[in-house]
């Protein structure tokens, strides 16, 4: 099997590439190594996690229409996993155009490449952020998601709508992955666990929003990529009728299209998360309690029953163990 993984040098992409190549798949990892954060971290991820005889890195910007066209002409991919995106809720308040270029223009380029080259399954990263102003917990894939509260969330909702259109018009099987607060070794520097660990080790205060009364469904990256790998093989098929759609399934009645939550199915209070980091580091944090930030939501919590029914997936990593694994990596990588 030959698979294109966009964002191949990214946090999730590099972990996924390792899992796929260890399973015998040939992986082309697309990543333009931009400077949203330190490109050296991206290069080191590939070197430690992805690179090998079954992995090839291509340096192409997702918004490069001609470059993406050429890539799909040069390769025949069985599946595509689109993880490349401009990430981050707060950054979308500062640089909105980057979200349009990568998350919208870039995604159209991927859709077109899949359409014209016979890709059997497009799996793409959406986000739990699409649930926006929803308050009913846990979040279900069948909940209404028409009220995003950040441009990042809106771009991910747009990806789902665009994918459905291509699934309907061109019978391209697509699966959207609504990720819930992914964490673990080799994480991004703008993520809470990275920021908190770095600040505590350097005796800097940490910013805790909504005075710590926030809840997140933290999902360890190893659990996440196991779920992605299983879903690559769970190719959606257009149902013959609405009656053929199982209860709780998000399968479209008119297209081979589905969205799936990937989460730990548990919500953790942010202050408890901070305390777990302090315990592992053996050092208390200087806490700077702050108000809720624009674009943030007070809680996320995944209903992952659809994922379990499709793949048998169940998360295996306890949050405290996951934090310990991240801290061990951080100390080793930065020599702290």
Calculate the alpha carbon distances from 179 to 70, 126, 265 in Å.
30, 7, 11
Phi and psi at 134, nearest 5°, equal -60, 145
* CB proximity list for 116: less than 8 A, separation 6 or greater: 72
Q: How far apart are CA 108 and CA 104, in angstroms?
A: 6
Q: Which residue has the tokens 């061990």?
A: 328
Tell me how far apart the 2 most distant CA atoms of the chain are, in Å. 60
Is the Cα dihedral 145, 181, 92, 207 positive or negative? positive
Q: How many CA atoms lie within 13 A of 74 on its CB side?
A: 9
The residue annotated as part of the active site, out of 91, 124, 152, 194, is: 152
Phi and psi at 329, nearest 5°, equal -65, -45
* Residue 122 CA, distance from chain mean position: 14
Pairing mode of beta strands 219-220, 287-289: unpaired
- Please choose, from the candidates 177, 36, 159, 148, the residue with its C-alpha nearest in 3D space to the C-alpha of residue 108: 159
Active site residue 152: yes
| 8-state DSSP, 25 | -
Q: Which residue has the tokens 């995604």?
A: 107
Pairing mode of beta strands 121-125, 79-82: parallel
Kindly list the catalytic residues: 152
């Amino acid at each position: 099997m030959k698979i294109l993984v966009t964002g191949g040098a990214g946090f999730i992409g590099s972990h996924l590439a390792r899992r796929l190549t260890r399973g015998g798949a040939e992986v082309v990892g697309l990543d333009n190594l931009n400077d949203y954060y330190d490109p050296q971290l991206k290069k080191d991820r590939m070197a430690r996690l992805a690179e090998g005889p079954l992995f090839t890195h291509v340096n192409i910007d997702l918004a490069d229409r001609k470059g993406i066209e050429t890539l799909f002409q040069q390769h025949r991919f069985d599946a595509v996993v689109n993880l490349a995106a401009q990430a981050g809720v707060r950054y979308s308040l500062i640089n909105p155009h980057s979200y349009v270029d990568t998350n919208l223009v870039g995604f159209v380029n991927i859709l077109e490449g899949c359409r014209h080259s016979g890709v059997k399954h497009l799996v793409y990263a959406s986000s739990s952020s699409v649930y926006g102003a929803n308050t009913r917990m846990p979040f279900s894939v069948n909940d209404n998601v028409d009220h995003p509260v950040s441009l990042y969330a809106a771009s991910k909702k747009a990806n789902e709508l665009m994918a459905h259109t291509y699934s309907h018009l061109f019978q391209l099987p697509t699966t959207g992955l609504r990720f819930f607060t992914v964490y673990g070794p080799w994480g991004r520097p703008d993520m809470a666990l990275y920021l908190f660990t770095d600040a505590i080790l350097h005796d800097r205060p940490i910013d805790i929003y909504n005075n710590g009364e926030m809840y997140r469904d933290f999902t360890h990256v190893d659990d996440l990529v196991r779920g992605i790998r299983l879903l690559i093989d769970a190719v959606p098929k257009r149902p013959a009728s609405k009656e053929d759609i199982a209860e709780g399934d998000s399968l479209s009645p008119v297209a081979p299209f589905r969205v799936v939550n990937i989460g730990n199915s548990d919500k953790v209070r942010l202050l408890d998360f901070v305390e777990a980091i302090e315990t592992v580091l053996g050092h208390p944090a200087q806490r700077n309690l702050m108000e809720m930030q624009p674009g943030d939501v007070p809680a996320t919590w995944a209903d992952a029953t659809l994922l379990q029914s499709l793949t048998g997936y169940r998360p295996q990593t306890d949050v405290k163990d996951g934090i310990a694994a991240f801290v061990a990596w951080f100390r080793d990588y930065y020599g702290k």
